[in-house]
Amino acid sequence: MSEAFDHVNEAGEQPGGNNVVPLDRPVAVDPADLDIATLGPCRITSPMAPLLDSRRTTEHYIDEDDRVLLDDTLTKVTSRGVPLERLPGLEPCGPRRKIYFDPSKTRVGIVTCGGLCPGLNDVIAGLVRTLTYHYGVRRVVGFRNGFQGFISSYAYDVVELTPQSVRDISVDGGTVLGTSRGHQDPEEIVDCLERMHINVLFVVGGDGTMRGAMQIERVIAERKLKIAIVGIPKTIDNDIPYIDQSFGFQTAFSRASESIRAVTVEAKSTANGIGLVKLMGRHSGFIACYAALARSDADVVLIPEVPFALEGENGLLAHLRKRVEQRGHAVVVAAEGAGQELLAGDAATDASGNAKLGDIGPYLRERIAAHFAEAGVETSLRYIDPSYAIRSVPANPYDSVYTVRLSQAAVHAAMSGRTAMVVGRVRRRFVHIPMAMAVSKRNQVDPHGDLWMAVLESTGQPFRFGD
């Protein structure tokens, strides 16, 4: 399958790191790669049919044959040189008049995996309410502590989920189901689903979680079972490709901007003060960029997509010293994955198989302090790492609304027999995306795009330190 197609997110930039494609030229994609797998024909009248019939004159009704086009400009559409019906597009989300599963006989499972992110409890609550109120599903269970919850050796009980039990969970951060990282045997997971007669499993997590969900779906297909696997993609770093924005991201950069404000106050309150904030962003610098733009206090933003040099006339350290001389203080915002080329890695990985990063925050703190000491400039350096405080907070109102809509879209998809797919929003339209496409690449800040240009304009820093 193709690994890329054009995508311009809400900030106007096209992600893709160094593999940048001009915005007026579409990337080749086989429309068949965007097809959504189904368990079979839908023959059951949906409990939502009366609601749909009463709104027939609105866009609420989903045309089964409609598609949300990938191309958003006339230039890209015409340059494909194919008939209208051959243009690649994504299946729209929404309730169908006919569904696959009989709600009265359907049992549903929910699992949350990976790191914490604002909005996880909102997703759980949204799934439970939509399943119960709109479809009449009688049993929804949560599996504890990620994929470990399916494995008998961990001996975790399942959690009975009802609208009453999830009524107030959205006010708390984290996930009431718990979470974990790491691979678990998909065969044993499917054994558990069979024993419990689960018909639908909603998986909430990032790219590693979705790869695990794809392995579960593969075993289900091999056993010829009728179990739908539907994902709600989650990453605080906003690095899931093709979607406008991942849930929790707005909450994260809003809270991160408060840390920038705090460290700026500290830096301004001392002679030659320097503030340093390390934010989330292993491979993608979206949180650092958006948080810095929200405050406009940062003098430097460092992201994984743009390497930088410390030493030399055009290096970061010399730039900081000039800023301190000019303004009396300076503020640096660094994504956790920035500057890894400066740190000696040991090739270790975490439970999810992700490479363990060097800690750029303490490294920068030490190098900046040493540089100013060698230059004979007395300074006061304040360092903040708010990562865990940000991950654990409840979702803000924007993300709360977004998660509700994602969970509703996921339920509609699952009840209509869709599987091996995730829900997401592309250019403000909620769509179904094959899981394979959702994990095929990583969304990154384009160093030549509008977002990074906006950061450079805001901070006044050069395009790259050391050039």
Whether 305 and 228 share a structural domain: no
Task: For 326-375, write each residue's pLDDT tens digit.
Answer: 999 999 999 999 999 999 766 666 665 667 789 999 999 999 999 999 99
Q: In CATH, what number is assigned to the domain containing residue 323?
A: 3.40.50.460
Whether 196 and 66 share a structural domain: yes
Whether 69 and 214 share a structural domain: yes
Tell me what pLDDT residue 72 has: 75
Domain boundary among the residues 349, 372, 392 is at 392
pLDDT grade, residue 144 (50/70/90)? very high
Domain membership flag for residue 449:
no
Whether 217 and 337 share a structural domain: no
Whether 132 and 176 share a structural domain: yes
Whether 177 and 194 share a structural domain: yes
Domain boundary among the residues 392, 407, 436 is at 392
Q: In CATH, what number is assigned to the domain containing residue 229?
A: 3.40.50.450
Whether 319 and 399 share a structural domain: no
Domain membership flag for residue 254:
yes
Domain membership flag for residue 275:
yes
The pTM of the full predicted model, rounded to 2 decimals, is 0.89
* DSSP class per residue in 401-463: HHHHHHHHHHHHHHHTTEESEEEEEETTEEEEEEHHHHTSS-----TTSHHHHHHHHHH---S
Domain membership flag for residue 455:
no
Q: Per residue in 354-377, is it b (16+ CB within 10 Å) or e — as a string?
A: eeebbebbebbbebbbebbeeeee
Residues 238-256: what's their mean pLDDT?
92
Tell me the C-alpha distance between 203 and 162, whole Å.
Answer: 18
Q: Decide: 421 and 228 in contact? Cβ < 8 Å.
A: no
pLDDT grade, residue 427 (50/70/90)? confident
Domain membership flag for residue 434:
yes
pLDDT grade, residue 65 (50/70/90)? confident
Provide the residue range defining the domain that includes 299: 249-392
Residues 106-134: what's their mean pLDDT?
97
Residues written for the chain = 467
Tell me what pLDDT residue 32 has: 81
Task: For 201-225, write each residue's pLDDT tens digit.
Answer: 999 999 999 999 999 999 999 999 9
Whether 45 and 140 share a structural domain: yes
Domain membership flag for residue 453:
no
Tell me the C-alpha distance between 433 and 230, whole Å.
Answer: 10
Domain membership flag for residue 464:
no
Encoded tokens for 181: 């990282």
Tell me what pLDDT residue 352 has: 57
| Higher per-residue pLDDT: 1 or 401 | 401
Whether 180 and 280 share a structural domain: no
Domain membership flag for residue 16:
yes
Whose CA is closest to 330, among 339, 318, 338, 341?
318
Residues 128-141: what's their mean pLDDT?
97
Whether 109 and 20 share a structural domain: yes
Number of domains observed in the structure of the chain: 2
Tell me the C-alpha distance between 277 and 420, whole Å.
Answer: 39
Whether 241 and 264 share a structural domain: no
Whether 346 and 422 share a structural domain: no
Catalytic residues: 237
Tell me what pLDDT residue 8 has: 35
